[in-house]
Amino acid sequence: MTYTIMDIPYWSVIPNLTSDPEEREKVSVLPRIFASIGQSLIIAGFGVQIIL
């Protein structure tokens, strides 16, 4: 649910940031990379503690 709340506004803002398709691709990839890293750290940190 929280992913959907964040994801819908995020993807609707991307086309308004720039009209250049290449720049738009660069802008949209970086937050996804950092979100994946953050999600992995949270799962690794708290997931192990919950299992143990």
Which residue bears the tokens 């308004």? 16
The amino acid sitting at 14 is I
31 Cβ contact list (under 8 Å, min separation 6): 10
pLDDT level of residue 7 (50, 70, 90 thresholds)? confident
28 Cβ contact list (under 8 Å, min separation 6): 14
Neighbours of 37 (CB within 10 A): 10
pLDDT level of residue 32 (50, 70, 90 thresholds)? confident
Phi and psi angles of residue 19, each rounded to the nearest 5 degrees, phi first:
-95, -10
